[in-house]
Amino acid sequence: MDGLQISNLKTLREFMCKTQHKVYAEPGGPESYEAKMISELIREIDRLRPLGSDGKHGKLHTYYCQCDLTADERTDLYWSSITWEDVQ
């Protein structure tokens, strides 16, 4: 992955959520610039390491989620990343 290297997305997301609670309690609340930036960061973390409706990452692996995948899981990831356009 190019750009920012983050060693633990799960920990970073937890930290960002705690920070979000603090920022929401400040003047400006959820409408403040800081609150919007934190929301964007959390969205980006969720794109790299998606969470299910139960709040768990489970098997929603991506190339960037940092899980220690088995060979089978890596193969599934590979095939699920191929789109129709790739095979035409």
Name the residues that contact Zn ion, by CB under 5 A. Answer: 61, 65, 67
Shortest Å, Cβ 55 to Zn ion: 14
CB-wise, 22 or 59, nearer to Zn ion? Answer: 59
CB-wise, 30 or 58, nearer to Zn ion? Answer: 58
Compute the Cα dihedral for 47, 50, 51, 57 and give only its sign: negative
CB-wise, 38 or 61, nearer to Zn ion? Answer: 61
Secondary structure (H, E, C), 14-49: HHHHHHHHHHHHCCCHHHCHHHHHHHHHHHHHHHHC
List all residues 6 or more positions away from 45 whose beta carbon is below 8 Å from its beta carbon.
9, 12, 13, 16
Shortest Å, Cβ 84 to Zn ion: 24
Shortest Å, Cβ 59 to Zn ion: 7
